[in-house]
Amino acid sequence: MRSARYYQERGRLLLHWASASGDDPTVAAKLEALAHESLLQASLLEQAAGRDSPKQVLDQSQNQQRRDDTPQ
C-alpha cells in the first residue's frame, strides 16, 4: 500500500497540471478530480494512522493557484 505522503504529492502534482492546462477546462476538471481523489486517499490514510488530515495540502494548493492566476 502506498503512503499518505505519496498521495499528497500526487495530489499536488495533479493540481499543478490542472492549473497549467487552463486552455482546456475539460482536462483541468479531470485532473482536479483525480487530485481530489488522491488527497482524499491521503486523508483516509492519515486518519487511520491517527494523524491530522492533509486537507491543509489542498487548501494551500488552491491558495497557490489563486496567487498564480492573479495578474500582476
- Model-level pTM? 0.65
- Kindly report each contact of residues 5-11 with a partner whose C-beta sits within 8 Å and lies 24 or more positions away, as own/partner: 5/42, 6/42, 7/38, 7/39, 7/41, 7/42, 7/45, 8/38, 8/39, 8/42, 8/54, 8/57, 10/35, 10/38, 11/35, 11/36, 11/38, 11/39, 11/42, 11/57, 11/58, 11/61
- Please write the tens of the pLDDT for every residue from 21-70: 878 899 999 999 999 999 999 988 888 777 655 566 667 667 777 777 76
